[in-house]
Chain A
Amino acid sequence: MIQKNHLHHVVEFIVGLLFGLGLMLSGMTDPSKVIGFLDLFGTWDPSLALVMGGAIMVGVFAFTVAKKRTTTFLGGVLRFPTNMDIDKKLVIGSLMFGAGWGLAGFCPGPALVSMADGQPKALVFVLAMLVGMLGFELMDRFIHAPRKAKLNPV
């Protein structure tokens, strides 16, 4: 059991490394390239579409295999997302994320990698992003949760 846990941690590290390398090779750690893709009405750089296309091509295959299985290759739990709701939270959150993405050209993964690559602005972005994530967590805990409890008393 302990050994399987160790193996999981090795896999996590390798997957993180692989993902970071993929981001760098794809050019997505360069905000000017991301904004070049989002600038549909200027001179358009389609690179990001190929990044998504390449990733999804492999992903569709992997998730088709995963959906047919009841456990992972190591016999562990397959944690698929259970939330299927298409609600205000999903849309408003995604719109906020997209606005921030367009504003600076960073999404979470490339920002972390760029920060580790020694880009000072990426560090500023990551710190602000962490503040935002913590802010959401506090809001959720102290505003949303009590309100929900009031609406649905146990």
Chain B
Amino acid sequence: MNIDWAHFTPFASLTGGVILGIASAIFILVNGRILGISGILGGLMPPKLGDTFWRISFLLGLLVAPTVFHAVVPAQYITAPRIDATDMMVVIAGLLVGIGTRYASGCTSGHGVCGLSRLSPRSLVATLSFMGAGFAMVYVMRHLAII
């Protein structure tokens, strides 16, 4: 295994991770909810009476984050994201992620962060499954050159 030292960002990633943990901690301890993006968003498809406003206020916070981030962090520290996937691949990926996360009742945040933190066997199985599928998909794309 070769480590990609040029792109590895240990300090920023660990700090970012701790912030994700703090956000999840506040959500369960203060509001009594699991911070799971696919569940929060999926619950709006379609919106249900009395179960909508909390989702919207969370999502609004999430959506203003880039504006705040750019206001706080000097531009030279921000690297522009790179998306290699074609539009067609992005559409297929979006459909798979939308159906899959709802079918499994969770994604990287709900199962990966909160579920593993709760030591839930169900979330461990989910996390191993999506990580495994992710590794396999990238192996096929990068090293078998099928896609």
Give chain A's interface residues, CB within 8 Å of chain B.
Answer: 8-33, 35-36, 38-48, 50-63, 65-67, 71-74, 76-81, 83-86, 89-109, 111-119, 121-122, 124-137
Contacts and interface: CB of A to CB of B under 8 A. Distances in A.
| SS of B interface (majority) | helix
Interface string B114-125: 111111111001
Contact of B30 (A11, A27, A50, A115): A11
Contact-residue bracket for chain B: 35 or more
B3 interface: yes
B85 interface: yes
A104 B89 contact: yes
Contacts of A77: 32
23 contacts: A17-B62, A18-B23, A20-B63, A21-B68, A22-B23, A23-B20, A26-B15, A32-B84, A40-B1, A44-B2, A47-B10, A54-B17, A86-B122, A90-B104, A93-B105, A103-B141, A107-B37, A107-B108, A109-B62, A119-B81, A132-B95, A132-B100, A133-B42
A133 B99 contact: yes
Contacts of B130: 94-95, 97-98, 101
B12 to A, nearest CB: 6
Interface in B8-24: 8-10, 12-24
B21 A12 contact: no
A101 B89 CA distance: 11
Contacts of A113: 62-63, 65-66
Nearest to B92: A103
Given A22-B20, A25-B12, A76 B31 contact: yes
A124 B87 contact: yes
B104 A97 contact: yes
A38 B22 CA distance: 25
A90 B122 contact: yes
B65 to A, nearest CB: 2
List 3 tightest A-B contacts by C-beta distance, closest first: A132-B98, A20-B65, A26-B16
A91 B90 contact: no
Contacts of B114: 59, 63
